[in-house]
Structure 1
Amino acid sequence: MDSPKSLASSFHFLGFSLKSKQFQCPKIYCITVLFSFLCFFSLCPLSGEGNSLPDSPLLDSEQILFITAKPGETTGTLNFYTLTEGEWTPILEKIPVRLGRSGLILGAEKREGDGHTPAGIFPIKRIVGKQKRKIRNLEYIEIRKNSHWSDSPSSKNYNQLIKHKEKGAVSLWDSEIYELFVVIEHNTNPAKAGFGSMIFLHPWNEDKPTSGCVGVELKWLEELVSQLDGNKFPFLVIVETEENF
């Protein structure tokens, strides 16, 4: 395992902003997760919006949310870190999550209805929920009774939030899993028909896999959302690993 100092040098080599001359990490667990992310980051292109690495705001990210899972597994782990005064500190660690019934797959290979959760690096931009909330510097959309999300590849509104009912669109009002969720920006800008839709980080209390989203207990999701700050350029990393961190 690299030391915090050498880990910092590697981050700087990739252009990752640490806002400090020295990298500090209070726990070896935090170092392990960040190092694993570093290895993944050096090999995997950005997902979701198709940005190339040199142009990506990920280089200035000060909040990283990790979802890791072993190959073929439908359970994983959530870790959330923020950079404060040059020190990466944990907000949430070792939180269990549920993945799609088919496990993880690279985002480029994700298809509608395949049961996979897409792996990749995604900017966190939008939060959706049924209550009025104060969200720091991120878009927040309050669900209404007519709020729907289209998962029909034949619709011009495919993988978009819409304010009316249409064939193939899912009501967001009628299910508790849409009480609060973070949009995982897979296949969103632009949305390509059939490449996957409605990929969210949402509440999940069932002892079974999701259909392709990431499910977590509502109390952890509430804490996560309360800590997110758009000014810190938060990113979500979903990656397959040999270990669940």
Structure 2
Amino acid sequence: MDSPKSQPTWFQFLGFSLKSKQFQSNQTGLITVLFSFLYFFSLIPLSSAENSLVDSPHLNSEQILFITAKPGETTGYLDFYALTEGEWAPVLEKIPVHLGKSGLTRGEDKREGDGNTPAGIFPLKRILGKQKREIQNLEYTEIKKYHHWNDSSSSKNYNQLITHKEKGAVALWNSSIYDLLIVIEHNTKPAIPGLGSMIFLHPWNEDKPTSGCIGISKEILETIVLKLDGNKNPSILILSLE
């Protein structure tokens, strides 16, 4: 973590006051959200003038999904917090999730086919599903039989949603794990060949790891989708707890 002098700045910057009721609370969920915030940002060096991170859209998030797991583990937990009237409050807490078969890795170290789930902080902008839905201010695509996602590193459409069949493209219509999904914007804009593709938060009812996505019960995913609001700049923070 940074020097003691800088800590109050970070607490206030992230929406916590050292005198607030939230900071004084001993609730397990709050400890999770505080630890996740502070641990993540302690890894990012500050420059003079408090770093250019001040301008980052992630730091304007009023809804954050926290995915936490121990190093090497293929299971973890999801906590969903929202900023309401100046205070962070839990929406969902301690929800079990399945991760990639190789566990978590730093986002910049993620490679196609390595079985890792990329760690980092990513905006949540797009939701896809196989039925009509009322989505709050986020891009929504109703999946049809012609929708594919390309995970071939040699394709010009690598890690992109496309509306035609081509080599290396996965038909989203053909699998129940794509009945509903939230796109985790890892390596999407731009998509660099080989650095990982198709990283989603999607339904998962099997007691085994995923190929690199985050798997969760469909019922919980339905709740998350209903609660997310694009006007609140939602993000997902995926973090390995050392």
The TM-score normalised by the length of structure 1 is 0.88
One-letter code aligned to 1:201: L
The alpha carbon displacement at 1:21 in A equals 10
Q: CA–CA distance in 2 between the matches of 1:21 and 1:41?
A: 17
SS at match of 1:211: coil
The alpha carbon displacement at 1:72 in A equals 0.2
Q: Does the CA contact (< 8 Å) of 1:177 and 1:204 recur in 2?
A: yes
Q: Does the CA contact (< 8 Å) of 2:57 and 2:233 recur in 1?
A: yes
The alpha carbon displacement at 1:87 in A equals 1.8
The alpha carbon displacement at 1:54 in A equals 3.2
1:41-99, Cα deviation, whole Å (9 max, x unpaired): 23149xxxxxx623311222111100000010000000000011112111110100000
Q: CA–CA distance in 1 between the matches of 2:85 and 2:8?
A: 14
Unpaired stretches in structure 2, ≥5 consecutive residues: 1-6, 46-51
Unpaired stretches in structure 1, ≥5 consecutive residues: 1-6, 46-51
Q: After TM superposition, list the pairs within 5 Å mapping 1:19-98 onto structure 2.
A: 23-25=20-22, 28-37=27-36, 38-44=38-44, 53-98=53-98
One-letter code aligned to 2:14: F
Q: CA–CA distance in 1 between the matches of 2:9 and 2:121?
A: 21
One-letter code aligned to 2:27: I
Q: Does the CA contact (< 8 Å) of 1:24 and 1:86 recur in 2?
A: no
Give the CA RMSD over aligned residues.
Answer: 2.0
Q: Does the CA contact (< 8 Å) of 1:105 and 1:117 recur in 2?
A: yes
Alignment partner, residue 218 of structure 1 = 218
Q: Does the CA contact (< 8 Å) of 1:17 and 1:61 recur in 2?
A: no
SS at match of 1:173: helix
Q: CA–CA distance in 1 between the matches of 2:114 and 2:18?
A: 45
Q: CA–CA distance in 1 between the matches of 2:21 and 2:230?
A: 23
Name which of structure 1's ranges 228-237 and 28-37 shifts more when overlaid on structure 2. Answer: 28-37
Q: After TM superposition, list the pairs within 5 Å mapping 1:60-209 onto structure 2.
A: 60-209=60-209
One-letter code aligned to 1:16: L
The TM-score normalised by the length of structure 2 is 0.89
- Tell me how many residue pairs correspond in the alignment: 228
